[in-house]
Amino acid sequence: MPMKDLFTPIKWLPEGKVCFLEQTRLPREEVWVETSDCARIADAIERLAIRGAPLIGIAAAYGLALAALSTQATDYESFRSDLLKSAVRLRSTRPTAVNLGWALDRVMRAVDGVRDVSDAREVTIRTAQAIHQDDIGACRRIGEYGAPLLPAGARVMTHCNAGALATGGYGTALGVIRSAWKAGRLKHVLANETRPLLQGARLTAWELREEGIPFTLIPDSAAGLMMQRGKVDAVVTGADRIAANGDTANKVGTYHLAVLSQANRIPFYIAAPTSTVDLSIASGAGIPIEERSPSEVREVHGVPVAPDGVDAANPAFDVTPGEYIAAIVTEAGVGRAPYGESLRSLCQRGVAAHA
């Protein structure tokens, strides 16, 4: 059955619970988890049951909503203190994606000054729901702005998963691909497997299959060959944090694609909401890179693929210099170099849209 336009991997339930898709179980089984525990949301983010920069932000906001419902505080100061403790725990889960802190800050700002605890709880929930709905709308606009950048009959390469599974719904990079497919501009997608956790093979392939979009799954190491053979017209990926100068952190392996795109004269695009832009960081050198467990490299789904005791490094992200990026597609429009100017303007528009 084709994936519905409003498919979302996370939901706020009327009874005050969060329901999320356990993404570590895909594609073998589709398991949904219900919880009223903020700590369980934090754990799910850490172990990538909930992943993708925009979705992490949405989940964190919903985590605060759960914390607001569970606290026994009866006065505003105690309520806000409990909420801050939960925010600290959620903020510690993953360091690279800026959407996480952005969403937490938005919720805390909304609660500031709401002295009645009952009202503060409602504001927390409404703000989290607004963050979710805003993201769905943003992804649709990213798709609308990004699709025309692709040539008619485009063959597009993407990396990791930046679809509905990584967002509130629809997707960023896959949002562009989905919009291009619906507009009749897309011919084929090349999806990189994305080692070591295979988000491309497990998640992007699952989404594209559900949507009925023609695609081929390839090893990460085959990307350059496909470009060399003339099978790629554009590369589109998502982002976890974009510095003020356009330097962009995304799933490790993205930088390789950008360099290969330059060498083969193929446009390389980033698709992300303005909430992913961090104007407080001047360049990619200031973006923290998450280091995950070496066991993720030494094993695949718990099965060892390396000799016992082998040392392994597992950086989760790399940084692509802005000079390699043809354009950054946001819900507020398309930014091009010099990114110091265009990103600031896009962020101002993005803030105005959410005001």
**Predicted confidence (pLDDT) per residue in 132-160, tens digit:** 999 999 999 999 999 999 999 999 999 99
Mean pLDDT across 312-324: 98
**What residue type is 265 in one-letter code?**
R
The predicted-structure confidence for 40-54, as pLDDT tens digits, reads as follows 999 999 999 999 999
Q: Can you tell me the distance from the alpha carbon of 194 to that of 158, in angstroms, rounded to the nearest whole number?
A: 10
**pLDDT bucket at 353, cuts 50 / 70 / 90:** low
So what's the pLDDT on residue 212? 96
Return the pLDDT at 76: 95
336 pLDDT above the threshold of 70:
yes
What φ, ψ does residue 313 adopt, rounded to 5°?
A: -110, 145
Q: Quick check: 3 pLDDT over 60?
A: no
Helical (H) or strand (E) element with 121 = helix 117-146
**CA–CA separation, 319 and 346 (whole Å):** 21
- Which pLDDT tens digit goes with each residue over 236-268? 999 999 999 999 999 999 999 999 999 999 999
Helix (H) or strand (E) segment spanning residue 98: helix 98-111
CA distance 343 to 332: 10
Phi, psi at 80, each rounded to 5°: -65, -35
pLDDT tens readout for residues 199-210: 999 999 999 999
Catalytic (active-site) positions: 240
* Residue 268 · residue 204 · CB < 8 Å: no
Residue with tokens 């699952």: 206
SS (H, E, C) 134-155: HHHHHHHHHHHHHHHHCCCCEE
Mean pLDDT of the chain: 96
Percent of the chain with pLDDT over 70: 97
> pLDDT confidence of 113, banded at 50, 70, 90?
confident
CA distance 336 to 321: 13
Q: What is the mean pLDDT of residues 10-25?
A: 97
Provide the strand spans (E) within the chain. 10-13, 17-21, 32-35, 154-158, 186-192, 215-218, 234-237, 241-243, 248-251, 268-271, 277-278, 299-300, 303-304, 317-320, 327-330, 333-335
Q: Tell me the HSE value of 96 on the side-chain side, using a 13 A CA sphere.
A: 24
Rounded CA separation 246/338 (Å): 8
User: Length of the chain, please?
Assistant: 355
pLDDT at 301: 86
pLDDT band at 352 (very low <50, low <70, confident <90, very high): low
- Tell how strand 234-237 and strand 154-158 pair up: parallel
